[in-house]
Chains A and B, each alone.
Chain A
Amino acid sequence: MSIILDKVNYVYSEKTAYEIHALKNINLKIEDGEFIGVIGHTGSGKSTLIQHLNGLMHATSGGIYYNGQDIYDEDYDRKKLRGRVGLVFQYPEHQLFETTIFADVSFGPKNQGLSKKEAELKAFTALRSVGLPEDYWYRSPFELSGGQKRRVAIAGVLAMEPEVLILDEPTAGLDPRGRDEILDQVAKLHEERNMTIILVSHSMEDVAKYVERLIVMNQGSIMLDGTPGEVFAHYQELEAVGLAAPQITYLMHDLRKRGIQVPGIATTLEEAKEAILQAFKK
């Protein structure tokens, strides 16, 4: 069970003055149950990449295989694929349209051809798992706050019970509390259901805290691919392309410069705490 991208290229507006080579020869293997972060500068091809994973965009050249099947095969059911690889777009609250929250969340499972009862059951489970209080469910989605709307929109994708969940900047424009709530819930889905999660983010702190594997995109290519520790060790290269390591990694670097022997490369507050305590114990 995996997603494999084989030499994927994508060109926008081919053969016009606006031609952009958005993806260049991408080779990638995503295993089951991974928690992956994708970072990159604006226009680096992150959003284009993730829209290929559920077949919304068709690669200009190259192949994509989901669980060993070529998704570009003529008889491959791409509509079904979209239910298995759930994609939550940026600002997903802009896609809400139904009269009640509950109806909006059942839209996905209903499209999968489930009966009303089954669809509602799935909507019920999904709304539970994003932690929206039950007395909101039959209100209009337009009465909610930004963070709540976003949770409803995420529930709308979760209700299709995808095997892989892709989130494009799920925390953009949220306050710190809303951000933590959403990311904690995503992490819980990963732990409890062993769902494969792909998280596109601009926040180095967020990805360092949650993901197990980090992919750095630059100008349509994969620049780095590894654990957050491995990737952030290249912080100078990251800076050269307009990215950065988490603040704490810089702090550890400065400490070492001042002669305090902190071991390893810390990318989160917890790791840094351990490392500093260890350095002072000696």
Chain B
Amino acid sequence: MLRDITIGQYYPADSVIHRLDPRTKLMAAMLYILSLFVFQGWAGFAAVTLALVLMIALSKVPFGYMVRGLKAIAVILIITILFNLFLTPGETIVEFWKLRITWEGLKNAGFMAVRLTYLILGSSILTLTTTPNQLTDGMEKALKPFNKLHVPVHEISMMMSIALRFIPILIEETDKIMKAQLARGADFESGNLIKKAKSMVPLLVPLFISAFRRANDLAMAMEARCYHGGDGRTKMKPLRYKKADIAAYLLSAGYFAGVIALKVLL
């Protein structure tokens, strides 16, 4: 049941996108997200769709796997569509009771739905093709200039990678404790809200205890290996740009400029 969460999960495959430097992918993802909110009209729509289809095809991640991540935002998506549909003033198409659907509303709702869906799909390509470790590595290196402003970049990225690393562990742990309590006849599903909340106690207490125990063990293990923060720390696999990265930078910059040009010119 808990295994089905796909947001932020890595999908192992050997593709051009998998091999790119995480900094490149972060930058490209950022440009792509910006372009989603910049584009206007059908030509822009065609451009972002083309870019997305191309990225999905290059990433070699099954499309069905990505779409599962959309379930998480289904509610937000529906609310956004409904608000746009009914609350945009303009030329009326249908009217019943106090609700009005306008041409403008229909168009807005359509584009908003596309924007949100593409946003999730686009950013899930980033997380599906990059391991959490690579991702935080990339962030650490990309944000390094902020170190001069006394921003603890290394510490923040270390915390992030630990947090990300713990997500699957805690999911597994939850699964295990849930099963152990089910084996003792616990019931997590039936009953009203208060009863349901109460039934979470046998799950949450052991989960918290185990999270603290694990955090303690990890801190101990890190200290035992002389971890002392980011100063003077080197990497076993330092990030280096390759030819493909330069090409990817140029491509995404070109794409972004293109989307802006389409907006300005049309």
Contacts and interface: CB of A to CB of B under 8 A. Distances in A.
Interface of A: 13, 16-17, 51, 54, 56, 79, 82-83, 86-89, 92, 94-97, 107-108, 111-112, 142, 156-157, 160
Contacts of A107: 184-186, 202
Interface string B12-52: 11000000000000000000000000000000000000000
B179 A112 contact: no
A92 B210 CA distance: 12
B210 to A, nearest CB: 6
Interface residues of chain B: helix, strand, loop or mixed (majority) = helix
Given A13-B3, A17-B11, A97-B201, A111 B187 contact: yes
Nearest to A51: B179
A210 B159 CA distance: 48
Among B11, B180, B187, the one with the most A-chain Cβ atoms within 10 Å of its Cβ is B180
A112 B185 contact: yes
Nearest to A99: B205
Given A54-B183, A107-B185, A112-B185, 10 more contacts: A16-B65, A56-B183, A82-B182, A82-B184, A89-B176, A89-B183, A94-B209, A95-B184, A107-B202, A108-B185
A131 B186 CA distance: 25
Interface residues of B, number: 22
Among B3, B11, B183, the one with the most A-chain Cβ atoms within 10 Å of its Cβ is B183
Contact of B185 (A16, A82, A94): A82
B18 to A, nearest CB: 12
Contacts, number: 59
23 contacts: A13-B3, A17-B13, A54-B183, A82-B184, A86-B183, A88-B183, A89-B176, A89-B180, A94-B176, A94-B177, A94-B206, A95-B180, A95-B184, A95-B206, A97-B202, A97-B206, A107-B184, A108-B185, A111-B187, A142-B209, A156-B184, A157-B184, A160-B184
A56 B180 CA distance: 9
Nearest to B10: A17
Contacts of A89: 176, 179-180, 183
B92 interface: no
Contact of B186 (A16, A51, A87, A111): A111
A96 B205 CA distance: 8
Nearest to A57: B179
Contacts of A96: 206
A79 B189 CA distance: 12
Nearest to A95: B180
Contacts of B147: none
A56 B182 CA distance: 8
B156 to A, nearest CB: 30
A92 B180 CA distance: 8
A249 B129 CA distance: 51
A111 B210 contact: no
B168 to A, nearest CB: 11
A87 B183 CA distance: 6
Contacts of B187: 79, 111
Contacts of B11: 17
Contacts of A142: 209
A111 B179 contact: no
Nearest to B61: A17
